[in-house]
A and B are shown apart, each in its own frame.
Chain A
């Protein structure tokens, strides 16, 4: 059996476990596709071919010996280069971090993916220090959109979006502080899960904003997304924010009906500053789910403002010493934002953190009468690389400052979200399926129902 470029993780694992395909063959297929297409996409910064082949051979040996293998046996995956990969310096999209000693141990989530049988094939391009919504990187060049390589992949997990959207690997891992999983998912036309804050361990990944940092998976199908998510769940003493909740598997629940769920469209702020494509995408999803109910989210603009303040100040605090010692080695745009962040008066940061408490209470009220909220993932489809402004309702707006306006007020209080791709022409765009804290199962169930209805899907890469 040979692999097809868009073969799902579930199908690869089934074929490998059933002896119809070797893990090594699945790994070689991914390595060949990376070699063929990544000169254009620029999604990988490191290809760990030797490690991948060794891992694949070990899985094949286990199968030959009759040993049980995990649910992701032989599935190639890659990680944003802020995850520690043993033997590599964790560059986090920067020039400065390349001088760090190589990591001695993999990030927890890599260990868990590999414990489930997955095969790490490399590390992925990203915006410098994750302070980015574009997928552009001044040191490594931009990761490119697989549907139009003149366009942005989205950031900051741009390489993750590009690699999965381009079907180089079926699963990638990324991070999301203000939208960095959901934005590339939207631009690259794939599924992305930003779990509840604290659900998945961040141990041995390079941070950005401790209050908002989440890690999560990207995939081309909901089943693959859930398989990866389930494999990575569980407490971890190495991440102070990681929950002590036990495993809550979602794969067995995916096919449950959604007719009992109360689903509404996020109104007000979430229906403003959007291009017609984003309106169309939310409309298609809402229609398929049979909802016309609109729920206003109070003070979402202020939530976005507070998220901005906390991000720029916590980011500045993280990088303060590097800003002193090596300011010329930063991307100048990132450096100037971080320096400004260091100058924000402390009372404004404290008030922003206190506002989170108030805002969270509003969502707790909303979730008493609603199980799921729908909102755009991005206001537009992927802009051109280097694009500075876009024109919305005859108003020129800066692209970078506006890409994450619909994601920031959600990650601000750590709600779980599945970004689902609506395959519009000529470019896909994402919709956020937002659930209450710890209810990733509900968001995944709704995404799966939409996928079965044919409303959302990951389109074949059109730019390759």
Chain B
């Protein structure tokens, strides 16, 4: 049975021309689930609109 992320994985792998063998799919899906969970943690944090990305220590 297809997992909820499988349609997304199929669409993005096609868009990026990445081949994913069926044997790899469970590990790719598991890793993507971790990345999206951690990404949501970042997404939930409210930042001012003016926030600039990435500090570079120039001083």
The residue from A211, A308, A312, A320 contacting B16, defined by CB atoms under 8 A apart: A320
Instruction: Report the stretch among A80-88, A281-289, A299-307 that lies at the interface.
Output: A299-307
Interface membership of B47, Cβ < 8 A: yes
The residue from B27, B54, B59 contacting A353, defined by CB atoms under 8 A apart: B54
Which B residue's beta carbon lies closest to that of A342?
B16
Interface membership of A67, Cβ < 8 A: no
Please report the C-alpha to C-alpha distance between residue A308 and residue B36 in the assembled complex, in whole angstroms: 10
Decide: B55 and A348 in contact? CB cutoff 8 A.
no
CB distance from A139 to the nearest CB of B (A): 18
CB distance from A36 to the nearest CB of B (A): 40
Which A residue's beta carbon lies closest to that of B54?
A353
Q: Which of B2-21 contact A (CB under 8 A)?
A: 8-9, 12-13, 16-21
Decide: B57 and A339 in contact? CB cutoff 8 A.
no
Task: Encode B16-59 as 1/0 by CB contact (under 8 A) with A.
Answer: 11111100100111011011101111110101000111111111
Decide: B24 and A358 in contact? CB cutoff 8 A.
no
A348 neighbours in B (Cβ, 8 Å): 36, 39-40, 42-43
Task: Indicate whether A305 sits within 8 Å of B39 (C-beta atoms), given known contacts A196-B57, A335-B24, A413-B55.
Answer: yes
Please report the C-alpha to C-alpha distance between residue A347 and residue B58 in the assembled complex, in whole angstroms: 26
B13 neighbours in A (Cβ, 8 Å): 339, 343
Interface size class on chain A is: 35 or more
Which A residue's beta carbon lies closest to that of B38?
A305
The residue from A343, A356, A401 contacting B9, defined by CB atoms under 8 A apart: A343
Decide: B42 and A306 in contact? CB cutoff 8 A.
yes
Decide: B51 and A357 in contact? CB cutoff 8 A.
yes
Interface membership of A336, Cβ < 8 A: yes
The residue from A312, A320, A339, A401 contacting B24, defined by CB atoms under 8 A apart: A339
Task: Indicate whether A197 sits within 8 Å of B16 (C-beta atoms), given known contacts A309-B42, A337-B31, A355-B47.
Answer: no
The residue from B17, B20, B35 contacting A341, defined by CB atoms under 8 A apart: B35
Task: Indicate whether A357 sits within 8 Å of B54 (C-beta atoms), given known contacts A306-B42, A345-B39.
Answer: yes
Decide: B18 and A324 in contact? CB cutoff 8 A.
yes
Please report the C-alpha to C-alpha distance between residue A58 and residue B25 in the assembled complex, in whole angstroms: 55
A308 neighbours in B (Cβ, 8 Å): 34-35, 38
Q: Which 9 A-B pairs have the closest CB atoms?
A: A340-B31, A353-B53, A348-B39, A305-B38, A336-B27, A340-B32, A437-B57, A360-B55, A305-B41
A sample of 17 cross-chain residue pairs with beta-carbon separation below 8 angstroms, ordered by A number, consists of A301-B41, A308-B35, A324-B18, A327-B21, A333-B27, A337-B31, A339-B18, A339-B28, A340-B34, A340-B35, A351-B42, A354-B53, A355-B47, A356-B53, A360-B55, A414-B57, A437-B59
Residues of chain A whose beta carbon lies under 8 Å from any beta carbon of chain B: 196-198, 211, 241, 243, 299, 301-302, 305-306, 308-309, 312, 320, 323-324, 327, 332-333, 335-337, 339-345, 347-348, 350-358, 360, 401, 413-414, 437-438
Residues of chain B whose beta carbon lies under 8 Å from any beta carbon of chain A: 8-9, 12-13, 16-21, 24, 27-29, 31-32, 34-36, 38-43, 45, 47, 51-59
Q: A196-B57, A324-B17, A358-B45 are in contact. List 4 more A-B contacts (CB 8 A).
A: A320-B16, A343-B12, A344-B36, A354-B52
